[in-house]
A and B are shown apart, each in its own frame.
Chain A
Amino acid sequence: MDHSAGALTVTRAHGIAYRTPGGGNGKSKHSPRGNYLVKLEATTPDGRPLTGIGECQPRGGETGDRGAASWEFLLECLSALERRELSAANRDEALAAVRALMDELHDAALATVPERSGASSLRNTMRGWARQLAGKSGRRDHPRPFRGTLYGIETALLDLVASGLDISVAELLGVHTEKVAVAAPLSGRSGTENNLAILHEAAEGDTGSIDEPLWIDVRGSLSPPDAAELVRTVVRDVSLRKLPRQVIIEEPVRPRHRHHLTALQRKAAAAAAESGRPGVDVRIMAGESVWSRQGLERLIAKGGVGALNIRPAAVGGLLASIELAQAALTADPDVRIHLSQTEGASDVAAAALNNLAVALPQVHTVFTGDDEHQVTVPAGPGLGVGMPYAWMIDRINEYVTVPAQPEVAEAGPTPNVYDEVPYLQPLGPNGTKGHLLEREALALGLSTTRFSKGAFVATDNVHPPLMFKWSRSPLSTAVSLALCTHKEATRMRLRRSGVPVPRGRTFANGDYGSARAFAERVGYPVVVKPAMGVRGIGVVANIQNEQELDLAFRQLEDSKLGNQDFIVEQHVTGRDYRIVVVGDEVIAAILREPASVVGDGQHSIAELMVRKNLVRRLNPHLWGRPIKYDDAAKYQLQRVEMTLESVPEAGQRVLLSNSCSLSQGGDSIDVLDEMHPSIKDACVRAVKAVPGLAFCGVDFLLEDHTKPIDEQQAGICELNAHAAIGNCEYPLYGTPREVARTFIDECVERFQLVTNAERAETLALKLTIRGKVTRVGYRLWMKRRARSFGVNGWVRNVNDRTVEAVLVGPTAPTSALAAAAVLGSKDALPTSVTTVHVVPPQVEDFSIVDRAPQELVHVG
C-alpha cells in the first residue's frame, strides 16, 4: 500500500438515500424516484479532516441502475472505501488514484451482473441469446452497471482529493474554458406536428439572438419515418426563414433505433445543401442512447451526428464524460458538445456539472437547471458546496454510515421504535388509520371484506357485519359525528354539560364589529378561526389586542377559508393534549409538542434533524410526517439566531415549529398514567355529552396534565369523532397504548360478537381479490411483498377478474399484506378483498401456483 506523503485516508463513508421532489410523495403505490448522497470523511497525513460529497442519480435503464440493488451496491462500495488510502500529493497522482479506485468499483459492479443460467423461462432464454448476439455483432454496449450510483461516488472522491490539494474539482480535472453558456432544450412531444409547432412557437418568441440554435429534446418519441419527416420539414422551414438557421433535434428516435441517427443527420445535411438559404445547420443530437465509448465509436463509424448531449450520471462519472467528449471531438472537431443534468438533481450534482463544464475540452452549453445565464470556473476548494440538507432533510429514507457512527448519548428520553413499519408503509402515511382496526378484528378471528384503503366490514358470520371506514365505525352514531364536526355546536353542547371550554362565538362572515365587542367581553388573548376549519387553515392564535385582531381578520380573509363564518374564542394558554376515550374510559393520552431537536454539543441542527427524522421513520404513525425545513422552521431558527449549520449545546432544545401538529413534525409523548383523574373525568363527561359518541379523540389544552383541572387554565377545543388511531397507538416517547385493540374489543362486547378468546399471534388467511387483478403483475407483486414480509403461502389466478391467495404468518405482517392486497401492483384496480380464516396449511415459502396446492379448511 502506498504511504506517500500526500495520502489521504478515508475514515468514514456515509450513504443517504432520499426521495427527490416530484419523485413521489410516499402516498402513491409507485416507488418514488430518489438519489443517494455520498459523503466521505478523510484525514490528511497531518491529521487535517476533509470531506468529499457526491450525488448518485440512479435512473433505471438510463444509468444502468436497478432499484434496491443499486443501494445495496452503494453500501458495498462504502465498505470498500473504508480505511482506503488515496495518494494525492499532486493533481496527476490524485486523478490517477481516483481513476484506479473507480476502475476497481466498476469491475465490482460488473461482477454483480447475474449469470443467466438455470431455471429460466423460454422467453428469457431467447432474450438472452438475442442480447449476446447483439453484443458480439457490436450492436449492443457491454454492460456497465450502476453508472448513476458510481457517478456519485466518483464525484465525492474528486471533491475529497481536490479539497486535499486546496483546488477546485475543475482545476483538478483541468480548466479548459473560462465560462460556459447555460441553455435548456425545448421539451418535445409525440408526433411530428407537435414538435414542429413547439419549434415555431419558440422561434416566434425568439428576440432575434441568432447565435443560439433552437434545441428540442424529442425524447425518442418518433418512429424512424416520422423522425425523417420532422427533419425534412424542419430544414424546409429553416430554408423558408420560418425557423432560425441552426436547429438541434435531440434523440428523435427511441434508443433501440439509434442506428438511424446518422442517417437522419445525413438527410438533414443533404436537405440543407439543397436549400436556398446559406448556412442552414440542422443537427441531430445523440443523448440518452449514447453513453459509452463503445456506443459513440459505433455511431462515429456509421458517420456520426452533429451534436452530443452528455449526462454524467448516464455516462458513469465526470472522468468518463471528459473521455467521451474527447473521443467525439477527435472524430469530428465540428461536433457540438452539450452537458445536461438528469431530473431531480440537488446543488451537489449542479456543482459537479459546473466543475465539469469548464473542464471539458470543448462545450457549447450546459443545462444545470438553474436560472443562471452562464457558469464560470468555480472557486473551490473541491466542488464548492456543502451538504444539501435544506433540500433533503424531510425526504431521507435511509442513512448508513461505515463504520457505524459512535452513539452520542441522547439528552432526554429514548424514542420508541416499532418493527411493524415496513409492513404498514405500503398503506401510506395514513395507513394505520385504515388498517389497525382490521388487524385486531382478524386477530380475534373475525372475517373481513375490504373495499378500499380505508373501508372494510368485519363479521363473525353469526351477527350482521360491522362497517368501518377509517375510524368511522358502528360504535358511534351519525348524529354524534355531525355535532362534533361543528366546533360551535360542540362548544355549546359541552358548556351545557359543565365541561371546561373556551368561551367563544360564531360570527357571520364580515361581522367584525360584533366580534370586536365580544373579544372585549371575554378578554384578550383570543383566537380567530374559520367556523368549519380543516388543518389549521386561517387560524390565528394568541391575539393580544384589537389591532392584532383586525390583522387576524385580514389573514383569515386572505386564506382559502376566507368566505366562511368565523369564530372568536378565548385563547387558553396550555399545552396540547390528545386524549382518547372509548366507551366510558380514557384509554390513551398523548402530549403533542412542536417539532424540535435537542443538542448534543457535537452535531449541527441539520444533522440532528436528519437523526430525528430517521427515528420518526421507525414509527408507523410518524414515518410519513417528518420534521420539515420549511418557513416555520426557518423563522424559529432566525428567532434564536441559528442556522442549519449551528451546533446547539448539549441538552439545548431548539424549536423548529410553533405548531403542535404531528403532521408538522411534532412529538407525541404518552402521558396516560400521569394524567390527573379530574382531567380524565372531564374527558369522559365531554364525550357523554354527545349522544351516541363511543370513540372520541378529545383535544384538550392544559397547563399541566398532572394537576387537578380546577387548579389550572384548561379548555377542550375539539372532539374528534373519527380520530386517528396511530398517534396514541405509536407515541414517539412513552408507553404505546392498544387503541385499536380496545376499540375492537368494545365493538365485540357491544354487538356480542362471537370471537376467539385470545388475540392470535399468527394468522392463516385466505384472500379472494376481485377486480382488475389479472395481467397486471398482481401475483408477482404479492409474492415479492409476502417474501419480504416473511409471510408464507401462495397466490393464484381463479379467473380473469379474481385472484386467490393464502397467507400464513405472524399477525402484523400477514394482516398488513391482506390490507395492502386492496392496492396491489401499479396497474391493478382491485374492487374488494374478502379475507377468511383457514386451518394453517403446510406451506414452506411463498409461491405463485396454477391451482390450489391443498384443500383449505375454513375456520369460523
Chain B
Amino acid sequence: MSVESAQTSAGSGTAALPPEVRDGYEVHAAALRRGLDVALYPRQVMMAGGGENDEMAFIHGVPESSSLGSVTYAQDKRMRRALLERAELPLPKGATFSVGRGIKDAKNFVERLGYPVVVKPAMGDNAIETFPGIRNEEQLDAAIDYLMTPPTERDTFVRAAYALTELREPGEEDGRVVVPPGYRFLIEEHVHGEYVRLLVVDGLVRSVVHCPGPPSVAAAEHGRDILGEVHPTLQQLAIDAVQAMPGLGVAAVDIVVGDYQRPAAGQGVWIVELSERPGLAVQADVAEELSQFLGDVILTHGAAVGDLSLEEARDDVAVEFHAEAIPDLDGAVAALADAARDFGITGHVGVTDRVEGVADGLLQGSARHIAWLSEMLLDGRLNGHRAMLVEERQVEPGSFDGLSVRPA
C-alpha cells in the first residue's frame, strides 16, 4: 500500500496529510528509514538519535541550524524585505501598513503602484493567506477585511510552533472582534512570470519545482521538477537570498521569472517569498518520491550539523512504540490498530497505564507508514485521538501474525 492510498484510508477514517504537517512527516520518516530512534512531542518537535548525547532536533522539519532569531525574521515580511533589499536582491515593490492607522496610506500606495497587487499578512507563516491578482479597490477591501479577522479564527491560518504569540488586545469594529490596530499587512506589486520554488539546504539548491501559479495558492499537481533545467543564475539568486538572512539551515524561496532557463540578468525576476519552512508539500504534489528524498536531504544535513552518522536507508523497520497522555486510551488504541492494519503493519499495541494515559506496543512495517501514524496521533487526527508524546525505538524485526491489541 502506498502512502497516497494510506492518506485516504477508509479504515482509519483519517483525512489526508495536511500540507503544514508534510515537512515534519518527511523528516520523521527519513529518520526511521535511517535507523534512528525518534521522540515526537506536540507541534512536531522531533528528536532523533541513538542515545542521550547524539540527538538531533527538528521543528516541522526545520533543523537546529535554523536559529530562533533568523526564523523570527523570516516570519516578519517587513524585516525580511529590508534584509533582502540591503543585499540588493530583486523584490516586487511593496510596503507594510497597519490596519489601525495605515489603510488610507495603503490605498494611496496602491494608487501610486497601480493594480494588480498582492496582499499578505506581514507576520507569521509564509506562503499562506496570500491574495494575489487584486485588480481593484473592492478586491483590496475584501482582502484587508479577511485579514481583519483574528488569525486564529481564519480557516486558512496555520502557525509555526516558534511563531510570536499575539499578546496585544484585539480590536473591535462595529461590534466585531478584529485584529489589534497594530496588526500589519503587506502590499506588493503583482509581478508576472513563471513561478519557481527552490529549496535551499545548507547553502545549496536541492530542488526546483516549476509551479503553475503561486505555490502558496495553487496546488502544484501540475508542477514539474526542473532542477536540471533551471538556469544557474536563478539558483544563485535563491542562495543569495538565504544568505541575506543568515542563520537559516533550510529555506524555500519562490521566484517569479520570465524564463527560468535564461540567465536572471536581462529579464524580469523577483523574489516573491522566502520561508524558513521547507514546504515539501509542493514537491509531494509533484511526486511522493521527491518529497521523500528531500526529507532525507534535510535529515542528512541535520546529522552533519550534529555530527551523527546514519545507516543506509531501508523501507521497513520494527519499532517499540510508546505513547503518553492519551485522553481516550481504548479508543486511541483501537484507532491506531485499525489504521496500522490497513497499512499492513504487524505487531501489537495495548494500554499500559490508564491513569497516566500510556499505551505501548511494537510496530513492524513501512517506516513511512509508522511515521504517518505517529504524526497523526500527535496531531489529534487519528479519528480525533491524541497523544502528547510518541517514542519509536528501533528493534530487531520479529515475526508477527498480523496486528493484535493486547488486553489491558
The answer to whether B41 and A467 touch across the interface, beta carbons within 8 angstroms, is no
Which A residues are in CB contact (< 8 Å) with B389? Answer: 489, 492
- B313 interface residue per 8 A CB criterion: no
Report if B216 contacts A (CB, 8 A). Answer: no
Q: A residues within 8 A CB of B246?
A: 464-467
The answer to whether A112 has its CB under 8 Å from any CB of chain B is no
Q: Which residues of B contact A481 (CB under 8 A)?
A: 68, 161-162
Most chain B beta-carbon contacts within 10 A, residue among A468, A482, A508 = A482
In the complex, whether A474 has a CB less than 8 A from a CB of chain B is yes
Indicate if the CB atoms of B386 and A469 lie closer than 8 Å.
no
Contact of A480 among B68, B79, B324, B327 (CB under 8 A): B68
- In the complex, what residue of chain A is closest to B46 when comparing beta carbons? A479
Q: Residues 467-495 of chain A: 1 if any B CB is under 8 Å from the residue's CB, otherwise 0?
A: 11100111111111111011011001100
Asked if A482 and B161 make an inter-chain contact with CB atoms under 8 angstroms apart, the answer reads yes
Complex contact B388–A492 (CB within 8 A): yes
Contact for B64 among A475, A479, A492, A506, CB less than 8 A: A479
Cα-based distance from A823 to B403 in the complex (angstroms): 63
Contact of A506 among B47, B83, B325 (CB under 8 A): B325
Cβ–Cβ < 8 Å partners of A479 in chain B:
45, 57-59, 62-64, 162
Which of A419-427, A514-522, A591-599 contacts the other chain? A514-522
Q: Which of A432-487 contact B (CB under 8 A)?
A: 449, 451-452, 455, 457, 464-469, 472-483, 485-486
From residue A460, how far is it (CB to closest CB) to chain B in Å?
A: 13
Q: A474-B70, A489-B388 are in contact. Are A482 and B327 (CB under 8 A)?
A: no
Please report the C-alpha to C-alpha distance between residue A492 and residue B58 in the assembled complex, in whole angstroms. Answer: 17
In the complex, which residue of chain B has the Cβ closest to the Cβ of A482?
B161
CB of B62, distance to nearest CB on chain A (Å): 5
Contact B67 A476, beta carbon cutoff 8 Å: yes
- Answer whether residue A664 sits at the interface, using C-beta atoms and an 8 A cutoff: no
Identity of the chain A residue whose Cβ is nearest the Cβ of B384 in the assembled complex: A508
B201–chain A nearest beta-carbon distance, Å: 15
Contact in complex: B55, A691 (CB < 8 Å) = yes
A155-169 interface with B by 8 A CB criterion: none
Contacts of B164 in A (CB 8 A): 469
Would you call A832 an interface residue if the criterion is a C-beta within 8 Å of the partner chain's C-beta atoms? yes
Given A449, A475, A476, A505, which contacts B356 in the complex, CB threshold below 8 Å?
Answer: A505
A478-B59, A521-B355, A692-B64 known; A467+B70 contact, CB < 8 A: yes
Please measure, in the bound complex, the distance between the C-alpha atom of A837 and the C-alpha atom of B324, giving whole angstroms: 55
Docked-complex contact A477 and B73, CB < 8 angstroms: no
Minimum distance in angstroms from B330 CB to a CB of chain A? 12
**Cβ-defined contact, B327 with A477, below 8 A:** no
Known A-B contacts A482-B161, A492-B389, A534-B165; A474 and B355 likewise in contact (beta carbons under 8 Å): no
> Is A507 engaged at the interface, CB distance under 8 Å to the other chain?
yes
* Residue from B44, B83, B354 in contact with A457 in the complex, judged by beta carbons closer than 8 Å: B83
Contact residues, B36-66 vs A (CB, 8 A) = 41-45, 47, 55-59, 62-66
Cross-chain contact A478 with B162 (CB below 8 angstroms): yes
Quick check: is B357 within 8 A (CB to CB) of the other chain?
yes
A672 within 8 A of B: no
Task: For A473, list chain B residues within 8 Å (CB).
Answer: 67-69
Name the contact of A488 in the complex, choosing from B55, B161, B325 (C-beta under 8 A): B325
Any A CB within 8 A of the CB of B308? no
Q: Tell me, yes or no, whether A608 is within 8 Å of chain B by CB.
A: no
Evaluate whether A508 and B328 lie within 8 angstroms (CB atoms) in the complex, with A478-B62, A832-B82 already known. Answer: yes
Residue from B55, B82, B324 with most neighbouring chain A CB atoms (10 Å): B82
Interface string of A667-710 (1 = CB under 8 A from B): 00000000000000000000000011000000000000000000
Chain A residues within an 8 Å CB radius of B42: 486, 488-489
Q: Smallest Cβ distance from A773 to chain B, in angstroms?
A: 15
Task: Report Cα–Cα, A505/B357, bound state, in Å.
Answer: 9
Contact for B57 among A474, A508, A692, CB less than 8 A: A692
Question: B residues 153-173 with Cβ under 8 Å of A?
Answer: 160-162, 164-165, 167
Instruction: Judge whether B338 is part of the interface by a CB distance below 8 angstroms.
Output: no
Are B57 and A691 in contact, with the CB atoms below 8 A? yes
Residue of B nearest to A770 (CB): B82
Q: Contact check: which of B62, B70, B76, B327 meets A507 at CB < 8 Å? A: B327
Contact at A472–B68, with CB atoms within 8 Å? yes
| B-side contacts of A457, CB under 8 Å | 73, 83
C-alpha gap A692/B68 in the complex (Å): 9
**A interface: dominant SS:** mixed
- Which residues of chain B from 163 to 189 have a CB within 8 Å of any chain A CB? 164-165, 167
Chain B positions within 8 Å of A475 at CB level: 67-68
Known: A469-B72, A476-B68. A486 touches B43 (CB 8 A): yes
Closest to A451 in B: B79
Q: Is B351 an interface residue (CB 8 A)?
A: no
Give bound CA distance, A853 to B388, whole Å. 64
| Residues of chain A contacted by B86 (CB below 8 angstroms) | 449
Among B70, B162, B357, chain A packs the most CB atoms within 10 A around the CB of B162
- What separation, in Å, do the CA atoms of A488 and B42 have in the docked complex? 8
B224 at the interface (CB under 8 A from A): no
Interface string of B290-326 (1 = CB under 8 A from A): 0000000000000000000000000000000000110
Does A477 lie within 8 Å of B78, measured CB to CB? no
Beyond A474-B68, A479-B58, whether A518 also contacts B356 by CB under 8 A is: yes
Asked if A343 is at the interface (CB within 8 A of a chain B CB), the reply is no
Chain B residues positioned under 8 Å from A517 (CB to CB)? 354-355
B324 (CB) vs chain A CBs: closest residue? A492
Q: Which residues of chain B are near A477, meaning CB under 8 Å?
A: 57, 64-68
Knowing A479-B57, A521-B355, A832-B82 are in contact, say whether A474-B67 is a contact too (CB < 8 A): yes
CA distance A478 to B327 in the complex (A): 29
Find the A residue at minimum CB distance from B276. Answer: A478
Contact A478 B243 (CB under 8 A): no
CB-defined contacts of B325 to chain A, threshold 8 Å:
488, 492, 505-506
B residues within 8 A CB of A466?
69, 246-247
Q: Tell me whether A511 is interfacial, beta carbon within 8 Å.
A: yes
- List of A residues within 8 angstroms of B71 by Cβ: 478
Closest beta carbon of chain B to A110's beta carbon, Å? 41
Residues of A within 8 A of B43 (CB): 482, 486, 489
Expressed in whole angstroms, the Cα–Cα distance for A313 and B356 within the complex equals 67
- Is A721 located at the chain interface by the 8 A CB criterion? yes
Is there contact, CB below 8 Å, between A482 and B243? no
**B277: nearest chain-A partner, CB-CB:** A478
Q: Do A467 and B67 have beta carbons less than 8 Å apart?
A: yes
What is the bound-complex CA distance between A534 and B167, given in angstroms?
A: 9
B68, A518: Cβ atoms closer than 8 Å: no
A483-B78 CB under 8 A given contacts A472-B69, A476-B68, A478-B68: no
Is A223 close to B, CB under 8 A? Answer: no
CB distance from B20 to the nearest CB of A (A): 14
A492, B67: Cα distance in complex, Å: 23
Cβ-based interface call for A831 (8 A): yes
Q: When the two chains form the complex, which single residue of B45, B160, B165, B357 contacts A486, counting CB atoms closer than 8 Å?
A: B45
Please name the residue on chain A nearest to B44 by beta carbon: A482
Q: Would you call B73 and A831 a contact (CB within 8 A)?
A: no
Q: Contacts A467-B247, A477-B57, A508-B328 given; indicate if A483 touches B41 (C-beta within 8 A).
A: yes
Residues of A within 8 Å of B45, CB to CB, are: 479, 482-483, 486, 489
Contacts A452-B79, A464-B246, A514-B355 known; 13 new A-B pairs at CB < 8 A: A449-B82, A455-B73, A457-B83, A464-B247, A467-B247, A474-B68, A478-B59, A478-B70, A488-B325, A489-B42, A492-B41, A508-B328, A534-B167
The 10 residue pairs across chains A and B that have the minimum distance between CB atoms:
A464-B246, A482-B161, A467-B69, A508-B327, A489-B41, A691-B57, A482-B59, A478-B71, A474-B67, A479-B59
A-B contact pairs, 27 of them (CB 8 A): A449-B82, A452-B79, A457-B73, A457-B83, A464-B247, A466-B247, A467-B70, A469-B76, A473-B68, A473-B69, A474-B67, A474-B69, A477-B66, A478-B66, A482-B44, A482-B160, A483-B41, A486-B43, A488-B325, A489-B41, A489-B42, A514-B355, A514-B357, A521-B356, A691-B57, A692-B57, A832-B82
A-side interface residues toward B, CB under 8 Å?
A: 449, 451-452, 455, 457, 464-469, 472-483, 485-486, 488-489, 492-493, 505-508, 511, 514, 517-518, 521, 534-535, 691-692, 721-722, 831-832
